[in-house]
Amino acid sequence: MDLDRLIATERRLDEAMRAAREEAARLVAEAQASGRQRESELDAELAAAAQRLAAETAAERERREREVARDAGALVARYEAVTADLVGRAAGDVVRRLVAGESAP
């Protein structure tokens, strides 16, 4: 009778051990699947962030290009506003000052 109880107990323990191993394997598989899913989500978030950064960088570059073009346009307009007559008068003034400086004692 004790031997029958011992065998029955051993069978119950073997069954419990098998069930525990199966449960552990199931939990490990779930954790791995969850990890892969989370990694995939993080990859997607990272790709979206990289795309946003690229778009923001491109927009900033375009904004800066427009700003530089505007500033260059303003400088060109200022240069074009200087007449040949004004340049001639300024050159004559410089020459007069140089000549006056050379003849001074």
Domain spans of the chain, in order of start: 2-103
- Residue 20 CA to residue 13 CA, distance in Å, equals 10
Distance CA 77, CA 96 (A): 29
CA distances from 5 to 11, 15, 17, 32, 57 (A): 10, 15, 18, 40, 76
pLDDT, tens only, 18-76 = 999 999 999 999 999 999 999 999 999 999 999 999 999 999 999 999 999 999 999 99
Q: What are phi and psi of 85, to 5 degrees?
A: -60, -45
The residue type at 21: R
Q: Token pair of 104, please?
A: 């001074």
